[in-house]
Amino acid sequence: MREPIRDRGRLEHILESVNNIYEFAEGYETSQILEDKVRYFAIVYQLVVIGEAANLLTKDFRDAHEQTPWRDIISMRNFIVHGYNLVDKEEVLSVIDNDLPLLKTQIEQYLSELDKQQY
Taking only the tens of pLDDT, the chain with its 119 residues reads 567 689 999 999 999 999 999 999 999 998 899 999 999 999 999 999 999 999 999 999 999 999 999 999 999 999 999 987 888 999 999 999 999 999 999 999 999 999 888 65
Three-state secondary structure readout of 12-73: HHHHHHHHHHHHHHCCCCHHHHHHCHHHHHHHHHHHHHHHHHHHHCCHHHHHHCCCCCHHHH
Q: What is the pTM of this model?
A: 0.92
> How far apart, in whole angstroms, are the C-alpha atoms of residue 108 and residue 102?
10
* 90 three-class SS: helix
Which residues are within 8 A (CB) of 69 and not within 5 positions of it... i.e. 6 or more apart? Answer: none
The pLDDT assigned to 2 comes to 64
88 by DSSP, 3-state: which? coil
pLDDT at 117: 81
Residue 60 vs residues 6, 7, 37, 65: alpha-carbon distances, Å: 12, 10, 38, 9
pLDDT at 73: 97
